[in-house]
Amino acid sequence: MIDLAKSRVLVTGGAGFIGSALIWALNRQNADDILVCDILGSDEKWRNLASLRFDDYLDAEELLQLLDSDSPVLNDIRVVFHLGACSTTTEPNLAYLLKNNYGYTKTIGDWAARHRVRFVYASSAATYGDGSAGMQDSEDNLDQLRPLNGYAFSKHRYDLYAWRHGLLDRFVGLKYFNVFGPNENHKNEMRSMVNKAYAQIKQTGRIELFKSYRPEFADGEQKRDFLYIKDAVEMTLHLAMQPSAHGLFNLGAGRARSWNELARAVFSALELKPEIMFVDMPEVLRGKYQYFTEANIQKLLATGYSGPRFTLEEAVLDYVRNYLAPGKLLGP
């Protein structure tokens, strides 16, 4: 087993939602020899790092230069968690998405392969598209998947590249499902429904959910596999530490739950009576909307992982009462 507390670790996207939560989880394992890479602009993302322990910070462009030159600065890195990406599912600039999500991942992954560094990278459940080709985390059907948006396409391209070049025999690709929890405030419209719902309730007393445009799904009965961030990073670290783990892995709760159930869990955490209003889905989303996602996590469980610690209701309660209500981030 890889001892992360004794390994120098690189985390890209380290100031982001999953990245900063991962550093928090590493710190809880007494790991702080961490090189953080991100792009810090004018938003408040930097606050996610304020209470975390790490050795140094690099801008994404600086890291690219070091990778391209095979700089000795990176010689001590033993594990790379590549979580940096543009995660905006409505981003229309495909050239940007391919450069940022596909090209950057190729560069750092190829470097890791040359230097025999453990490489764990973020893919996405969005790569499954409408689910008609299944949601099995196997390489056997990769070329049958049809993503529904540019973000998912850019992620899927790297999965295909890693598969075709034999890199999945060594790398770990993580297909995160609907992750939610503290440290996501900077994501604006890409925040989870729990985060948005809390704000809606505080402002209006109700939660707005999209109407369904498929007869087999009633309004609010569209379903997702919701995964709490604390479980997501625990799964991530578990796979990183298992030298025999390789390939693609679904990271989810393993159970689909409806938006109505999620909304009721938020009201319950606030001890309020549910008040749900159904609104029109924007035209731009209707042909790209996933009505059902559920992670088959048998491959993850086969590595010795015992399963998620939080139910949906427990996760929402922890998030609302311990982070959203007091305005806290993950920290010591």
* Residues marked as catalytic: 151, 187
The single residue listed with the structure tokens 């010795």 is 304
Residue 140, amino acid: D
Strands (E), 42-196: 56-59, 77-82, 118-122, 172-176, 178-180
The span from the CA of 106 to the CA of 255, in Å, is 32
The span from the CA of 105 to the CA of 107, in Å, is 5
Strand, coil or helix: 117: coil
Write the Ramachandran bin of 8: left for phi over 0, alpha for psi from -120 to 50, otherwise beta.
beta
Characterize the bridge pairing of strands 172-176 and 118-122: parallel
Is 97 in contact with 147 (CB distance < 8 Å)? Answer: no
The span from the CA of 327 to the CA of 199, in Å, is 12
Q: What is the CA angle 88-93-99, rounded to 5? A: 85
Alpha-carbon distance values, 270 to 194, 201, 261, 325 (Å): 12, 9, 14, 9
Write out the two tokens for 281: 């889905």
Residues composing the chain: 332
